[in-house]
């Protein structure tokens, strides 16, 4: 199987450097027309310039590819919609959105000002939703689309000083789950990447061989797979240094409590059984959990009669 993007149009946000730049270059190398979106701000989201996006476009064109630069701030829906309108006017379709743009404003929660919390949410989570919403009608109309969001281990597992970032990144998973359900009948798949790479966002965290091994280029093959016609759906793909893994959300089978056991003490007494992973499942929708609880409750009630 050869994965190609000939004739397809791909938007990559935050593509002026780091992971986004690597994604954009690899999509272009496999035939895609690429929209290189980058606000061009500093790591904390201040400033702004199209110079970084222009430089990546120049790289793509020098290699024989086709690309356009865009400096929209993803946290501003009107700017994102204008970007989508510009792309449609030029190329007439949008096949792939890779929502990669992000900023950092790290502080412990006790020291974090709420504007810094809100700004990180605005860029990561609201920015991703803005981009997805702007391309959604296009993808529905053409009965095809691939969305790739960017989550983080900080969101899934936690990291000191990143309450804002972690909350935003966990939100990507919820957004993916709902949009996959809503988009499936229109040929739209939604997946999420959790990358570990040395970029300007993370460079001070790494030293020694890791700086040479955890490159953005080792991540992008996973993104291209998720965004391909052959790609999966509703997948959390983790990547770093050429290593790829999957994260699943599982729910244990659970325990029915009744009578005197339906109490805080009963929950405590059965907590090991409640936590037992034997028979745990990756549920595919909120009502799957609802039906499970209803069925267990009904079965327990019938057994008493």
The domain limits of the chain are 9-247, 259-304
Contact 155, 166 (CB under 8 A): yes
End-to-end C-alpha distance for the chain, whole angstroms: 58
Distance in angstroms (rounded) separating the CA atoms of residues 195 and 186 = 28
Distance in angstroms (rounded) separating the CA atoms of residues 129 and 141 = 19
Element (H, E) at 81: helix 77-91
CA angle 175/196/18 to nearest 5° reads 90
Task: Specify the 3-state DSSP secondary structure of 119.
Answer: helix
Distance in angstroms (rounded) separating the CA atoms of residues 94 and 145 = 7
| Torsion of Cα atoms, 87 then 93 then 95 then 100, to 10° | 10
| 165 counts as catalytic | yes
Coarse DSSP helix, strand, coil percentages of the chain, rounded to the nearest 5 percent: 50, 15, 35
Q: Which residues contact 176 (CB under 8 A, 6 or more apart)?
A: 147, 149, 190, 191, 192, 234, 236
How much is the pLDDT for 47? 57
Instruction: Quote the CATH superfamily of domain 9-247.
Output: NAD(P)-binding Rossmann-like Domain (3.40.50.720)
Contact 219, 239 (CB under 8 A): yes
% of the chain exceeding 70 in pLDDT: 92
pLDDT in tens, the chain (305 residues): 799 999 999 999 999 999 999 999 999 999 999 999 998 855 555 656 689 999 999 999 999 999 999 999 999 999 999 999 999 999 999 999 999 999 999 999 999 999 999 999 999 999 999 999 999 999 999 999 999 999 999 989 999 999 999 999 999 999 999 999 999 999 999 999 999 876 555 555 555 666 667 789 999 999 999 999 999 999 999 999 999 999 999 999 999 999 999 999 999 999 999 999 999 999 888 888 887 888 888 888 788 77
Q: How many CB atoms lie within 10 A of CB 41?
A: 19
Marked catalytic residue, from 165, 186, 291, 293: 165
């Amino acid at each position: 199987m050869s994965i190609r993007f000939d004739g397809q149009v791909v938007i990559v946000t935050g593509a002026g450097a780091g992971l986004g730049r690597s994604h954009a270059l690899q999509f272009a190398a496999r035939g895609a027309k690429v929209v290189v979106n980058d606000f061009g701000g500093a790591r904390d989201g201040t400033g702004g310039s199209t110079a970084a996006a222009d430089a990546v476009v120049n790289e793509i064109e020098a290699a024989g590819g086709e690309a356009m630069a865009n400096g929209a701030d993803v946290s501003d829906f009107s700017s994102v919609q204008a970007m989508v309108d510009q792309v449609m006017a030029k190329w007439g379709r949008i096949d792939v959105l890779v929502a990669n743009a992000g900023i950092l404003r790290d502080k412990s929660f006790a020291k974090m000002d709420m504007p810094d919390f809100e700004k990180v949410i605005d860029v990561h989570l609201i920015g991703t939703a803005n981009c997805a919403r702007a391309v959604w009608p296009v993808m529905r109309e053409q009965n095809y689309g691939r969305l790739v969001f960017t989550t983080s281990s900080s969101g899934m597992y936690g990291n000191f000083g990143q309450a804002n970032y972690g909350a935003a990144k966990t939100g990507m998973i919820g957004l993916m789950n709902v949009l996959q359900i809503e988009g499936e009948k229109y040929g739209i798949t939604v997946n999420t990447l959790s990358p570990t790479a040395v970029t300007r966002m993370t460079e001070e965290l790494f030293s020694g061989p890791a700086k040479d091994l955890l490159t953005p280029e080792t991540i992008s093959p996973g993104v291209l797979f998720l965004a391909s016609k052959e790609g999966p759906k509703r997948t959390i793909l983790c990547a770093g240094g050429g290593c790829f893994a999957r994260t699943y959300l599982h729910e244990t089978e659970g325990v029915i409590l009744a009578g005197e056991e339906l109490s805080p003490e009963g929950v405590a007494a059965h907590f090991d059984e409640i936590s037992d992973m034997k028979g745990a499942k990756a549920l595919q929708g909120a009502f799957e959990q609802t039906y499970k609880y209803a069925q267990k409750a009904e079965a327990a009630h019938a057994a008493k009669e």
